[in-house]
Structure 1
Amino acid sequence: MRIQYLGHSAVYIETGSHRLIIDPFIEGNALCPVPLEELLARDLTHVLITHAHGDHWGNALDFARRGAVVVGTAEIAGYAQQNGVQAHAMNIGGRWQFEWGSVRLTPAWHSSSFPDGTYGGMPTGMVLEVEGQRIYHAGDTARFSDMRLIGDLDLDLAFLPIGDNFTMGVHDAAESLHDLRPDLTVPVHYNTFPPIRTDPQEFVSAAELRGFAARVVQPGDWL
């Protein structure tokens, strides 16, 4: 499995013959070093959406019109289907086994609406199980106490927002590690826009101070 961070909250995953993207905000994402055309040429199979805001929904329809299946809440899947693309509807607490692995939707404390104002359902996080590894993408969220239940899933890798203002900031994200207990955390959702500017190294230091491993991954780099 290979994972590429594309800036903001966009994460690309290759596993076997499958290619996934989470929250594909590419156009308009000044931090993404990979052009949309290059990503479209990878022939993605699945597009996973944590919530409907434009900086997460992003270019979902561009990938879906090339054959990728949109995965998200019933509202997100329904919106995708209304736009003529394939989708798989889920909801919080549900888990579905795909050919490449499973997706479980988790709670997230945020809001969710499409750029045109259509209601996007409840915001979510996601726990993916791929090649025996559990990957948590928190989406946009505040810190909340039930993160300890997500941590009980034995997480190998977590992507956590740290930009503050719209989500957790550095301190709350670092404190959430006591509940999530991942083997490794990568900070996301920072420095894309002025209101979410922060120093990701502060998060790494705060995580390590609490006994947890964290790493800044530059947009375009691979895990």
Structure 2
Amino acid sequence: MGLTFTWYGHATIGLETGGYHLLVDPFFSGNPAATAKPNEVRADFILVSHGHGDHVGDTEMIAKRTGALVISNFEISSWLGRKGLKTHGQHLGGGYRYPFGYLKLTFAIHGSALPDGSYGGNPAGFLLTTNAGEKVYLAQDTGLFGDMKLIGDEGIDLAALPIGDNFTMGPDDALRAVELLRPKHVIPIHYNTFELIQQDAHAWAKRVEEATSAKVHVLKPGESFSL
């Protein structure tokens, strides 16, 4: 069946699998790296990793336009539900089978306060097992943690990892994450959106490929990679 990964800049990701369109952390408005507008993207499901404004982003606008189901932790799902959106709440370590596959919320080291200051629960990453059996790990905003090895034990086909530093893992820790996760393919995210998180992704890719068996795909915003 195949899976297509599109990077829209920052931590905004589009996944197409089995005819379903998933949109992750849809930050388009105010994103200087974005090559698309929120009224241009398709979404059957929207995944929100945590409550920060550059990740909740345009969720409300896109969900109301498309009718997409929003998937996040229980607190964010409840907050968005009060805005009239269709939501499904999960929690860390919990999984649920959706039409597009089985989705588990993974641990992440970060914050999660919502844009209005409300409590946003725990930040999360996503571990997706598609209906075709591909394993995709979207770390989203996180620091390095040792239990990435346990996630790697699942047999990861594709991992998206932040490399920007300051707010998330930087290049050194992201390399260590690849060593723990042992994925077949890696895509760097959450870098070069703002000056504070400028990184040389191609230099990082070279380091990763010299140190591990992973293949790194450095995408420009708007570009895609298919498994």
TM-score with structure 1 setting the length: 0.96
Equivalent residue, structure 1, for 2:26: 24
Checking the alignment, whether the CA contact within 8 Å between 1:24 and 1:60 is kept in structure 2 is: yes
Equivalent residue, structure 2, for 1:69: 69
> How big is the shift at 1:2?
2.1
Moved over 3 A (4+): none
Equivalents in 2 of 1:202, 1:165: separation in Å? Answer: 18
Equivalent residue, structure 2, for 1:188: 189
> How big is the shift at 1:83?
0.7
Equivalent residue, structure 1, for 2:101: 101
> How big is the shift at 1:17?
3.2
Equivalent residue, structure 1, for 2:219: 217
List per-residue Cα deviations over 1:87-125 (Å, max 9, x = no partner). 000000001000111110000011111111111100111
The 3-state SS of whatever aligns with 1:191 is coil
Q: Which runs of 5+ in 2 are unaligned?
A: none
| Matched residue type, 1:220 | G
TM-score with structure 2 setting the length: 0.94
Output the aligned Cα RMSD. Answer: 1.0
The 3-state SS of whatever aligns with 2:35 is coil
The 3-state SS of whatever aligns with 1:38 is coil
| Matched residue type, 1:48 | L
> How big is the shift at 1:75?
0.5
The 3-state SS of whatever aligns with 2:165 is coil
The 3-state SS of whatever aligns with 1:77 is helix
The 3-state SS of whatever aligns with 1:80 is helix
Equivalents in 2 of 1:208, 1:38: separation in Å? Answer: 35
Please tell me whether residue 129 in structure 1 is matched to residue 104 in structure 2: no
Mapping of residues 1-223 of structure 1, within 5 Å: 1-39=3-41, 42=42, 44-66=43-65, 67-130=67-130, 131-211=132-212, 212-223=214-225
**Greater mean deviation of Cα atoms: 154-163 or 209-218:** 209-218
> How big is the shift at 1:208?
1.0
> How big is the shift at 1:50?
0.8
The 3-state SS of whatever aligns with 2:40 is helix
> How big is the shift at 1:205?
1.4
Equivalents in 1 of 2:18, 2:150: separation in Å? Answer: 30
Checking the alignment, whether the CA contact within 8 Å between 2:24 and 2:47 is kept in structure 1 is: yes
Checking the alignment, whether the CA contact within 8 Å between 1:162 and 1:170 is kept in structure 2 is: yes
The 3-state SS of whatever aligns with 2:216 is coil
Aligned residues: 220
Equivalents in 1 of 2:187, 2:19: separation in Å? Answer: 25
- Quote the sequence identity (%): 40
> How big is the shift at 1:138?
0.3
**Greater mean deviation of Cα atoms: 205-214 or 107-116:** 205-214
Q: Which runs of 5+ in 1 are unaligned?
A: none
